Chains A and B, each alone.
Chain A
Amino acid sequence: MNDEQIIEVITRMFREVFDDESMVITGSTSQEDIEEWDSLSHLRIILLLEKEFGIKFDIDRVGSLTSVGSIVQEVRNLVRR
């Protein structure tokens, strides 16, 4: 799975969590760009990704995943394991 495909999945997650079907996500999208992206919605996104990819995030790293690019990288690393 390449980065574009991962972003497609993440976009689906964001649209579900933020209830916005028109939401456009890129690798450079960060928490500063989305006002509703708070700690609780962040955890929901992480849980959805865990379910989708069958992976487990390291809770010590979850807080630092503040951009879509960093989430993509983390997902890619976890899927490879």
Chain B
Amino acid sequence: MKVHHVGYIVDNLANAMIEFEKLGYKRVGEPVYDQVRDIYVVFVNNDGVMVELVMPKSRNSVIYKLAGKYRNMPYHICYETDCLEDDIEQLTKRGYMLIRKPEAASAISNNRVAFLMHLDVGIIELVEKKVINYERECCSEKGQL
């Protein structure tokens, strides 16, 4: 499966963006607020390697506890899929557990994503392949970052 991006939990999105840029990453679009997961997200790219910087907005965020425990660390790899449902079915037969059902991801042009977990792999994300446009509206609450 083709890797789309690496998901990376950060403590402070603004500071992380600065440091990743110093490492040679270029920001892809502006940070967006994903209301479904209650997270701020921005993509950065370094020579084709896409990293998704993710910061929980509040305690209600699905990754709030993870962020508190792991701070600044990669926590999933996202793979592209032509058919989300087919790949979920195949992966669950191979021991993966669907931990977050398919839903639109505002940070990826509302492409549908799903999260799965495997004992020997950890957390993976699947993103449904379609025209992916990283140019999106700025987060209305960007000032809080």
Identify the A interface with B (CB < 8 A): 38-40, 43-44, 46-48, 50-51, 56-57, 59, 62
Q: Does B99 contact A (CB under 8 A)?
A: yes
Q: Does B97 contact A (CB under 8 A)?
A: yes
**CA of A62 to CA of B92 in the docked complex: distance in angstroms?**
15
B117 and A47 contacting across the interface, CB-CB below 8 Å: yes
A38 and B65 contacting across the interface, CB-CB below 8 Å: yes
Identify the B interface with A (CB < 8 A): 65-66, 69, 92, 95, 97-99, 101, 117-119
Residue of B with least CB distance to A59: B98
Q: Pick from A38, A39, A40, A50: contact of B97, CB below 8 A.
A: A50
Which 7 pairs of residues, A with B, have the shortest CB-CB distance?
Answer: A47-B119, A43-B117, A38-B65, A59-B98, A47-B97, A39-B65, A43-B99
A38 and B69 contacting across the interface, CB-CB below 8 Å: yes
A44 and B66 contacting across the interface, CB-CB below 8 Å: no
A71 to chain B, nearest CB (A): 15
Residues of B within 8 Å of A56, CB to CB, are 92, 97
Residues of A within 8 Å of B99, CB to CB, are 43, 59, 62
B66 and A39 contacting across the interface, CB-CB below 8 Å: yes
B101 and A59 contacting across the interface, CB-CB below 8 Å: yes
A43 and B97 contacting across the interface, CB-CB below 8 Å: yes
B48 to chain A, nearest CB (A): 29
Question: If the complex has contacts A38-B65, A39-B65, A40-B66, are A57 and B97 also in contact, measured as CB distance less than 8 A?
Answer: yes
Residue of A with least CB distance to B118: A47
Residues of B within 8 Å of A59, CB to CB, are 97-99, 101
**CA of A39 to CA of B97 in the docked complex: distance in angstroms?**
14
B65 and A47 contacting across the interface, CB-CB below 8 Å: no
A15 to chain B, nearest CB (A): 16
**CA of A4 to CA of B43 in the docked complex: distance in angstroms?**
49
Residue of B with least CB distance to A46: B97
Q: Give 20 new A-B contacts, CB below 8 A, not counting A47-B118, A59-B99, A59-B101.
A: A38-B65, A38-B66, A38-B69, A39-B65, A40-B66, A43-B97, A44-B119, A46-B97, A47-B95, A47-B97, A47-B119, A50-B95, A50-B97, A51-B95, A51-B119, A56-B92, A57-B97, A59-B97, A59-B98, A62-B99
